[in-house]
């Protein structure tokens, strides 16, 4: 089998992202930079004499629950990415759409 038939999906040009997506990403990035700069450069309302209150976590929940949720979300996202890549590899050999074969 020639290499061109085996790896046809490699030489296909990528579909460019639409301009509105780039503009939206730039606006969100600029908004985040502005909010971060405001948070860092704004004068503090706290006085030197006041101490920060000691944070107390509720018993038994918090770090452990967050860790479990983070691991579960990571596995779900990784599975979705791997599944999407396997669909692209499987359907790239044929000339049919991946949407017609769920």
Confirm whether pTM is higher than 0.75.
Answer: no
Q: How many domains does the chain have?
A: 1
Rounded (10°) CA dihedral 73, 77, 82, 84: 140
| Model confidence pLDDT, tens digit, residues 71-89 | 999 999 999 888 877 666 5
pLDDT (tens digit, 9 = 90+) per residue, 8-59? 666 667 788 889 999 999 999 999 999 999 988 888 776 666 566 777 656 6
Task: Write down the pLDDT at residue 82.
Answer: 85
Residue 24: DSSP 8-state: H
**Residue 57 domain flag:** no
Residue at 48 is within a domain: no
Residue 56 token pair: 């107390």
Instruction: Evaluate whether residue 18 is within a structural domain.
Output: yes
């Amino acid at each position: 089998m020639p290499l061109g038939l085996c790896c046809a999906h490699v030489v296909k040009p990528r579909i460019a992202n639409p301009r509105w997506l780039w503009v939206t990403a730039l606006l969100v990035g600029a908004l985040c930079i502005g909010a971060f700069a405001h948070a860092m450069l704004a004068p503090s309302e706290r006085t030197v004499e006041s101490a920060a209150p000691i944070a107390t976590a509720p018993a038994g929940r918090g770090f452990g629950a967050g860790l479990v949720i983070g691991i579960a979300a990571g596995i779900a996202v990784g599975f979705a990415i791997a599944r999407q890549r396997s669909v692209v590899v499987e359907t790239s050999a044929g000339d049919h759409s991946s949407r017609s074969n769920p």
